[in-house]
Structure 1
């Protein structure tokens, strides 16, 4: 089973990925959080770090782009291709209101005619690159999936990553496996499953369904952040967690932000967000509350010592 690390905005960024490959194994492909086309300005500092080949060495890294403009996609992919990248993933899954209100991310799924024109143009004009898509199964109605599949099957995607939820579901409600199975039967390209992979035991049950559909690749987001050992557990078939190792991993993230002169306040914000996912069990509620209240790194360090 191939395992992909999901691109989570502000979470699985360049610092997270660098520290991750130092401490853990099991991930076969990484994705940058989405990069949007820029008009007059150049790449931001964080975008440059996301794309820096030397900084991200050791990763099979794919660039994810968020746009609904073929012209902007072509221009941006040409710029990034010069940096040594040859595969681009198009974000059609982000449910954020600030994204969908502009007709991007999963908001683009509402207009299949425009989506079709977008793909036609980028496949006609792009050269020397592979194109993949990360998609939801519709915006607010399961019936939208049929029309979306008719668009997807026209084009030679490298792979299609499917999160079988509607945009209106966000990350709640059950995944709609019937739509995923339908895609596996309809599309001739490689299909990757994404959604609700949180434990090795849970994956074992899901994998029975994936095998029936000939699927041998999955993308994991929140489950991987919650337990960074999850990819290795899935590949070995042995359930494993190690809070001590996770603490060491987040200590490295803290130190990396310090080396990058990220600032104490910004570093604390990032660390608190990560710990909010890692310490999701009720038994850690008091410790998590202390971590979230920390105003300085020194105060934060004292609370982390309680976990060691």
Structure 2
């Protein structure tokens, strides 16, 4: 089973990925959080770091872009290609209102004619770069998936990463597995499953259906952040958790942010967001509350030491 790390804005960013491969080795492919076109200015500092080949050494890294404009796609893909990348992922899944209101992300799913035209023009003129997509199964109704699959099956995507939820679901409600299975039977492009793999038990239940449909790749987001050893557990078939290893991992993330001059306050904000996912079980509620109240790195370290010896 190949495992991809899901792009999560502000979470699985360049710092997280760099430190992750220092501690763990079971992720096969990484994706940048989505990058948007800037017609009047260049890449932001954070986008340049996401794409920096030297900083991201050791990663099979795919830039993800967010656009519904052919013109913007070619400008952005050309710039990224010059940085040494030969594969791109197009985001057609982001449910954020600020994204969908502009017809981007999962907002693009509302207009299959425009989506079809977008891909037609891209594939007519693109021969030297591989393209994958990350998609949801519709905007607000499962019936939309049939029309979307008819569009996707026309084009030679290297992969189609499917999160079987509607935009209206955001990250709530159950994933709709029948839509994914249906796509596996129709699409000529390689399908990749994404969604609600939070524990080894989740994967075991899902894997029976994946094997039946010859799916050998999954993308994991929150489950991987919560337990960075989950990819190893999946590949070895054994349940593995080790809070001390996670503490060491996040400690190195802290040091990396500080070395990049993020400042104490911004570093604490990033760490608290990560710990909120790692310590999601009720049994950690008290220590998580203390971590969230820490207003200095020294106070934060004190609470982390409590975890290390627990």
The corresponding residue for 2:228 is 228
> What are the residue-to-residue correspondences of 1:110-121 with 2, within 5 Å?
110-121=110-121
CA shift, 1:84, in A, is 0.4
SS across alignment from 2:43: coil
Deviations 1:119-155 (A, max 9, x none): 0111112231000000000000000001100100110
Query: Structure 2: which 5+ residue stretches go unaligned?
Result: none
- The SS at the match of 2:307 is coil
Deviations 1:72-119 (A, max 9, x none): 011100001000000000001111111111111011100101101110
Normalising by structure 1, what TM-score? Answer: 0.99
Shift of 1:297: 1.0
1:259 maps onto 2:262 in alignment: no
Q: Distance in 2 between matches of 1:148 and 1:24?
A: 36
- Cα distance in 1 for partners of 2:161, 2:5 equals 12
Aligned to 1:306: 306
**What residue in structure 2 maps to residue 238 of structure 1?**
238
Structure-to-structure mapping, 1:165-204, within 5 angstroms: 165-204=165-204
Question: 1:155 & 1:55 partners in 2: Cα distance?
Answer: 33
Where do 1:122-161 residues align within 5 Å? 122-161=122-161
Ranges of 4+ aligned residues in structure 1 off by more than 4 Å: none
- Equivalent residues in 2 for 1:1-308, closer than 5 Å: 1-308=1-308
Looking at structure 2, the residues matched to 189 and 131 of structure 1 have their Cα atoms a distance apart, in angstroms, of 11
- Residue-pair matches, total: 308
SS for the counterpart of 2:63 is strand
Q: CA RMSD in A?
A: 0.7
Distance 1:124 1:303 in 2: 56
TM-score normalised per structure 2:
0.98
Whole-angstrom distance in 2 between the partners of 1:304 and 1:124: 54
